[in-house]
């Protein structure tokens, strides 16, 4: 899967999330050929209440995502929906021709064409569940990481507490002071040493 950025926005984080989500979606939907994702910016479309959020081009295997003023989670939800359409295309669902019924992309195709309506039902149901399962999986992984970190912190806190208890229990050693001679004894002893050393010299 390649991502083509046709916007003037900073999309690095969004592209990173798309790349994290895509392998899960591909395995979930079990399709073979990879589509390409096109990020698009259209301020006029963004200002239109009925503007497009995304669409799938079956002939080119392209998913177009409009990202202006949208939360990244909402953009990924659109991607999930369009990936279901891509899996339908890989199954050959887009190859059908319809007589006296709206074709794909024509006004009323999702209301007046029973087969295309069922395809939309699948895209909304499976696409939303796919995205929900991925998000819940992330939440579980994040919770596991938090729990692991808390356990590590608890172990470190226990070790720290044990060290503090050892320090508190240990008796402080009183430094030994050198025994000092009384001043008078030191003076006479020193004087005696000097006199004897002087007069006993040969």
Beta-carbon contacts of 74 under 8 Å, excluding residues fewer than 6 positions away, are 53
Q: What is the pLDDT of residue 157?
A: 62
C-alpha atoms less than 13 angstroms from C-alpha of 20 in its C-beta half-sphere: 13
Please indicate, yes or no, if residue 56 is contained in any of the structural domains: yes
Please indicate, yes or no, if residue 199 is contained in any of the structural domains: no
pLDDT at 178 over 80: no
What is the maximal distance between C-alpha atoms in the chain?
A: 142
CA distances from 58 to 88, 94, 112, 168 (A): 9, 7, 20, 74
Please indicate, yes or no, if residue 156 is contained in any of the structural domains: no
* Bridge-based pairing state of the strands 54-57 and 36-40: unpaired
Check: CB of residue 79 under 8 Å from CB of residue 65: yes
Please indicate, yes or no, if residue 196 is contained in any of the structural domains: no
The structure's pTM equals 0.68
Query: Which H or E run includes 154?
Result: helix 114-169
pLDDT at 181 over 80: no
Please indicate, yes or no, if residue 75 is contained in any of the structural domains: yes
Q: Which two tokens stand for residue 53?
A: 């959020």
Query: Which CATH number do you get for residue 91?
Result: 3.40.390
Higher pLDDT, 110 or 54: 54
Domain of residue 47: give its range: 3-148
Cα gap 76→95, rounded to integer Å: 27
Which 8-state DSSP code applies to residue 94?
G
Q: What is the pLDDT of residue 97?
A: 78
Please indicate, yes or no, if residue 78 is contained in any of the structural domains: yes
CB atoms under 10 Å from CB of 56, counted, come to 22
Please indicate, yes or no, if residue 76 is contained in any of the structural domains: yes
Please indicate, yes or no, if residue 189 is contained in any of the structural domains: no
- Look at the alpha carbons of 94, 68, 46, 42 in this order and tell me if their dihedral is positive or negative: negative
Q: How confident is the model at residue 38 (pLDDT cuts 50, 70, 90)?
A: very high
**End-to-end alpha-carbon separation of the chain, Å?**
108
Distance of CA 122 to the CA centre of its chain: 29
Mean pLDDT for the stretch of residues 14-43: 94
Helix (H, G, I), strand (E, B) or coil at 201: coil
pLDDT at 187 over 80: no
Total domains in the fold of the chain: 1
Which 8-state DSSP code applies to residue 57?
E
pLDDT, tens digit (0-9, with 9 covering 90-100), for 115-158:
889 999 999 999 999 999 999 888 766 555 655 655 666 566 66
């Amino acid at each position: 899967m390649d991502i083509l950025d046709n916007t003037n926005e900073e999309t690095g984080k969004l592209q990173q999330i798309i790349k994290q989500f895509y392998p899960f979606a591909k395995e979930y939907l079990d399709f073979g050929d990879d589509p390409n994702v096109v990020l698009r910016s259209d301020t006029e479309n963004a200002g239109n209440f009925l503007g497009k959020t995304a669409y799938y081009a079956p002939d080119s295997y392209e998913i177009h995502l409009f990202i202006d003023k949208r939360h990244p989670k909402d953009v990924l939800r659109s991607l999930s929906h369009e990936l279901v359409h891509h899996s339908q295309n890989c199954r050959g669902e887009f190859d059908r021709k319809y007589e006296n019924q709206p074709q794909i992309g024509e006004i009323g195709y999702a209301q007046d064409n029973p087969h295309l309506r069922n395809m939309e039902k699948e895209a909304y149901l499976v696409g939303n569940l796919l995205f929900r399962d991925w998000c819940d999986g992330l939440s579980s992984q994040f919770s596991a990481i938090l729990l692991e970190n808390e356990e590590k912190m608890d172990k470190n806190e226990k070790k720290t507490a044990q060290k503090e208890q050892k320090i508190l229990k240990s008796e402080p050693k009183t430094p030994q002071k050198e025994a000092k001679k009384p001043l008078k004894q030191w003076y006479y002893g020193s004087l005696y040493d000097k006199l004897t050393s002087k007069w006993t010299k040969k």
